[in-house]
Chain A
Amino acid sequence: MSIDIDTARKVAHLARIRVEEAALPALAEQLSGILTFMEQLNEVDVTGIEPMVSVTPMRLARRADVVTDGNIQPQVLKNAPQAREGFFAVPKVVE
Chain B
Amino acid sequence: MSFSDKTGANSLTIAGARDALRKREISAVDLTMACLTAMDAGDGLNAFVFKTPEIALEQARAADARLAAGEAPSLCGIPLGIKDLFCTRGVPSQAASNILRGFRPEYESTVTTKLFGDGAVMLGKLNMDEFAMGSSNETSCYGNVVNPWRRQGSNVSLTPGGSSGGSAAAVAADLCLGATGTDTGGSIRQPAAFAGITGIKPTYGRVSRWGIVAFASSLDQAGPMTKSVRDAAIFLAAMAGHDPKDSTSADLPVPDFEAALTGDIRGKVIGIPKEYRMDGMPAEIEALWQSGIAMMRDAGATIRDISLPHTKYALPAYYVIAPAEASSNLARYDGVKYGHRAKLAQSDGITEMYEKTRAEGFGPEVQRRVMIGTYVLSAGFYDAYYNRARKVRALIKRDFETVFADGVDAILTPATPSAAFGLGEMASADPVEMYLNDVFTVTVNLAGLPGIAVPVGLDGQGLPLGLQLIGRPWDEGNLLNHAHVLERAAGFVAKPEKWW
Contacts and interface: CB of A to CB of B under 8 A. Distances in A.
Contacts of B371: 8, 11-12, 15, 17, 27, 31
Interface string B187-203: 00000000000000001
Interface in B302-334: 310, 312-313, 315-317, 319-320, 327, 331, 334
Contact of B391 (A37, A52, A75, A82): A52
A29 B359 CA distance: 19
A37 to B, nearest CB: 5
A61 B244 contact: yes
A4 B14 CA distance: 54
Most buried by B among A15, A33, A75, A93: A15
A90 B350 contact: yes
B419 to A, nearest CB: 24
Interface of A: 3, 7-8, 11-19, 27, 30-31, 33-35, 37-44, 46, 49-56, 58, 60-61, 63, 72, 75-76, 78-82, 88, 90-93
A31 B344 contact: no
Contact of B390 (A14, A30, A52, A61): A52
A18 to B, nearest CB: 4
B355 A52 contact: no
Interface of B: 102-106, 203-205, 218, 244, 247-248, 250-251, 310, 312-313, 315-317, 319-320, 327, 331, 334-341, 344, 348-356, 358-359, 362, 367-368, 370-376, 378, 385, 387-395, 397, 430-432, 435, 446-448, 473
A43 B316 CA distance: 11
A87 to B, nearest CB: 10
Contacts of B391: 44, 46, 49-52
Contacts of A72: 106
Contacts of B378: 11, 14
Contact of B336 (A44, A55, A81): A81
Contact of A33 (B352, B370, B395, B430): B430
B392 A44 contact: yes
Nearest to A42: B388
Contacts of B446: 55
A76 B337 CA distance: 8
Contacts of A63: 244
B343 to A, nearest CB: 11
Contacts, number: 169
Contacts of A11: 371, 374-375, 378
Given A15-B371, A31-B371, A56 B473 contact: yes
Contacts of A30: 368, 430-431
A38 B313 CA distance: 9
Contacts of B350: 90-93
A58 B388 CA distance: 22
A88 to B, nearest CB: 5
B358 A79 contact: no
Contacts of A35: 372, 375
Contacts of B473: 56
Contacts of B359: 17-19
A54 B218 contact: yes
Nearest to A7: B375
A14 to B, nearest CB: 5
Contacts of A76: 106
Nearest to A81: B341
A31 B385 CA distance: 14
B248 A33 contact: no
Contact of A79 (B106, B310, B351, B374): B106
Contacts of A61: 244, 247, 251
Contact of B388 (A46, A78, A81): A46
Contact of B431 (A34, A43, A56, A80): A34
A48 B203 CA distance: 27
A51 to B, nearest CB: 3
B395 A46 contact: yes
Contact of A44 (B203, B375, B395): B395
Contacts of A7: 375
Nearest to B359: A18
